[in-house]
Copies of this chain bind each other. A is one copy, B any other.
Amino acid sequence: MFSFKQLSEKFLQYLNQYDYKKQPAELYDPVKYIMSIGGKRIRPLMCLAGYNLYKENVEQAFNAAMAIEVFHNFSLVHDDLMDAADKRRGLPSVHKKYNDNTAILSGDAMLIMSYQLLEMYPDNYLELTQLFSKTAIEVCEGQRMDMDFETQVQPEIDAYIQMIALKTSVLIACSLKMGALIGGASESEANHLYEFGKNMGIAFQIQDDLLDTFGDEEKVGKKIGGDILQKKKTYLYLKSLELLSMDESETLRVLYSDSTEKTGDELVDQVVQLFKISHVDVHAQELKLVYQQLAFSHLKALQLDEERKVPLMNFAKELLDRTH
Q: Which residues of A contact B (CB under 8 A)?
A: 23-24, 26-27, 78, 81-82, 100-101, 104-105, 107-109, 111-113, 115-116, 119, 122, 125-126, 129-130, 133-134, 136-137, 140-141, 143-145, 147-148
**Among A82, A133, A147, which residue has the most Cβ atoms of chain B within 10 A?**
A133
Inter-chain pairs besides A82-B105, A111-B112, A115-B115, 20 sampled, C-beta below 8 Å: A24-B141, A24-B145, A26-B144, A26-B147, A27-B140, A27-B141, A82-B104, A101-B147, A104-B104, A105-B143, A105-B144, A109-B141, A112-B136, A112-B140, A115-B133, A119-B129, A119-B130, A119-B133, A125-B125, A129-B129
From residue A101, how far is it (CB to closest CB) to chain B in Å?
A: 4
Instruction: Give the complex CA separation of A59 and B78 in angstroms.
Output: 36
Q: Do B136 and A126 touch across chains, with their CB atoms under 8 A apart?
A: no
With CB as the reference atom, state the residue of chain B lying closest to A78. B104
B78, B105, B122, B129: the one within 8 Å of A105 (CB): B78
- 3 cross-chain pairs, A with B, having the tightest CB-CB distances, nearest first: A27-B144, A82-B101, A109-B140
Q: Do A116 and B133 touch across chains, with their CB atoms under 8 A apart?
A: yes
Contacts of A81 in B (CB 8 A): 104
Instruction: Give the complex CA separation of A287 and B140 in angstroms.
Output: 44
Instruction: Give the complex CA separation of A119 and B23 in angstroms.
Output: 30
Q: Do A137 and B109 touch across chains, with their CB atoms under 8 A apart?
A: yes
Q: Do A148 and B26 touch across chains, with their CB atoms under 8 A apart?
A: yes
Q: Do A105 and B24 touch across chains, with their CB atoms under 8 A apart?
A: no
From residue A166, how far is it (CB to closest CB) to chain B in Å?
A: 10
B78, B112, B140: the one within 8 Å of A137 (CB): B112
Contacts of A24 in B (CB 8 A): 141, 144-145, 148
From residue A128, how far is it (CB to closest CB) to chain B in Å?
A: 11
With CB as the reference atom, state the residue of chain B lying closest to A166. B24
With CB as the reference atom, state the residue of chain B lying closest to A117. B133
From residue A142, how far is it (CB to closest CB) to chain B in Å?
A: 9
Instruction: Give the complex CA separation of A145 and B126 in angstroms.
Output: 32
Contacts of A111 in B (CB 8 A): 108, 111-112
Instruction: Give the complex CA separation of A27 and B137 in angstroms.
Output: 10
With CB as the reference atom, state the residue of chain B lying closest to A74. B108
Instruction: Give the complex CA separation of A321 and B256 in angstroms.
Output: 62
Contacts of A140 in B (CB 8 A): 27, 105, 108-109, 112
Contacts of A109 in B (CB 8 A): 137, 140-141
Contacts of A26 in B (CB 8 A): 144, 147-148
